[in-house]
Each structure stands twice: as structure tokens, then as C-alpha cells.
Structure 1
Amino acid sequence: MDMLKLMFACFTIAFAGACTTARQGVEGKVVEVSGNMMPGPGVTLPKGTPLQTSVLITIALAENEVKRNQQGLYEKPQEKLVVKQVRTDANGNFKATLSPGVYSVFIETPDGWFANETDGNSVLNKITVENKQIIQKNITVNYRAAY
């Protein structure tokens, strides 16, 4: 009987360890705005429409390391640079588990891959993932908007 209890305890510990993962990476929401987004008196701007699409996470890439297409967006980075690709849900939410490090985030659109922020070193849509931390990265796809 004691052997059975010991086996059950070992199984429970092993199972709990297998199901528990250190949560670290990135999560956020992708929305799209388009049309006239010029603020003004009495103007209520839309918050954006959730976008159901692919989110591409690459090693940190500077603007000059990714080719632009004819629409001014980016071509898909080379596969060897891709760390992870995930999809947003119907509400535009996404999550990706990542190792600690520095990454770029791209959003797939019908016209190419979108990234509109840079840091002081021209790194596109930069995120820095720390050990056991979830980084929030909300992205507004606004290349069809006028400001």
C-alpha cells in the first residue's frame, strides 16, 4: 500500500511539473484603423477593428535588414530569421512563448508585412523578453489611415 502511495505521489509531482510552464514571452492585441483618423473638436476616433491574422516574430531586425514592397510595407523576412509565427484570435489577441531576448514583431496584411515602430537604432517593432515575464505588445495597423 505504501508503494502505491509513493507511486501516486511521484506521478502527481511529475504530472504537475509537465503541465506547469514558465510563462514568458509576448501577448497583445492587433487592431486595424483606416480612413480619416484626424483628431479634432467633437471628433470621436474609432478604437480599431480586431484583426484576425498572422503575427511573425523574428530576431531583432533593423529597417535596412528587411526589404520593402511596392506598397511601402515589408516583404516577409527570410525563414532563417523567424523565431515564431502565431495567429490572432477573432478578437485580435495573440500570445507567443519566447526565450529571453530581443525580437521584432510583424503583422501580416493583404499588402505585405506591417511594422511601424522603431527604437533609436531603427529596430522594427522591438520587444525585449525577460526571464519569466510576459511583455505586452498591442499593435495598431494604420497604413490605410490618414492623419
Structure 2
Amino acid sequence: MQQSQAAIKQGITGRILWQAGNQMPSPDAPPTENKRGVERTVYIYELTNANQVTTQNGVFHTNIQTKLVAETTSDANGFFSVALKPGRYSLFTKEEKGLYANMFDGEMNIFPVEVKEGEVTTIEFLINYQASY
């Protein structure tokens, strides 16, 4: 189901990035840019609210009660694209401990992304549960 970025005219394109380790700034060491693209399975659900899932550690989600709309895989550099109908969706990545998403909007919708008619929405999905700030 993976499509190249040029092939889609409407949907979501983006990059899955991994970040781990100590991210605290230090006077002795300037902060380093250590995000890197990673291959992951990306799950796109209908817009999902925090009360429609079971959540562990605030970022791992199971028992998602909304409909799975699409799934794709990012390439080795983290890039992915998926064609979707206009609407609002929630994005998750597959991790060992469950489906991961760490961003919420003001209504507690999980990693919300809107697709508009004839547009491709670009996102950056940061996986940082092994990073400390």
C-alpha cells in the first residue's frame, strides 16, 4: 500500500523520526541534532480521542475503538506517503510496547491530521519515548 510521494494528489506525506538519549542542554556540550529517519509501520485511524483507547505510559495505545483506515510503511529514511479521502485522522506507529503516538490537540484527539480536498498534508512524527529532556 506504500506509494511514492509524487504519486499521491491527496492524503498525508511525512517522515518518521527517532530520538533517544539525553536531550538536556549543557554548558559543556551544545545540544546535538540526533533525530534520524526510521522504518516503521504507520497506522492511520479515523480521528481518535484519548477516551477511545487504552493508554499505557501516556504514549502507547491499545484497544483503539475507531476504524483503521490505512496502513503503510516508512522507508529506511523515515519517509512515507498515503492517499486518503478528505477528513480528520489519527496517526500511530507500531512499537514493541503497542501503537505509539505522543501528540494531542486541545480536545485530546490523538496525533490529529486533517486531509483537505486536493491537498497533501505534510507531517513530522517524532518517536521519542526513549529520550529524556
SS where residue 116 of structure 1 aligns? Answer: coil
Residues 54-133 of structure 1 aligned to structure 2 (within 5 Å): 54-69=41-56, 73-75=60-62, 77=64, 81-133=67-119
Query: What is the TM-score of this pair, normalised by structure 1?
Result: 0.78
Question: What are the Cα deviations for residues 97-116 of structure 1, in whole angstroms up to 9, with x where unaligned?
Answer: 00000000001112211111
- Whether contact under 8 Å (1:24, 1:97) holds in the other structure is yes
SS of 2:51 mapped into structure 1 = helix
Aligned to 2:40: 53
Determine the structure 2 residue equivalent to 1:17: none
Name the structure 2 match of 1:27: 13
- Structure 2, unaligned stretches of length 5 or more? 1-6
Q: Distance in 1 between matches of 2:40 and 2:8?
A: 26
Amino acid at match of 2:31: T
Counting strand residues as a fraction of each chain, which structure ranks higher? 2
Q: What's the CA shift for 1:49?
A: 2.1
Unmatched runs of 5 consecutive residues or more in structure 1: 1-20
Larger Rg: 1
Q: TM-score, normalised by structure 2?
A: 0.85
- Count of matched residue positions in the alignment of Structure 1 and Structure 2: 126
Per the alignment, do residues 101 and 66 of structure 1 end up closer, same or farther by CA in structure 2, a change over 3 Å counting?
A: same
Moved over 4 A (4+): none
CA offsets 1:121-142 (integer angstroms, 9 cap, x no match): 1001100100010001111101
- What's the Cα RMSD here? 1.9
Q: Tell whether the 8 Å contact from 2:114 to 2:121 is kept in structure 1 after alignment.
A: yes
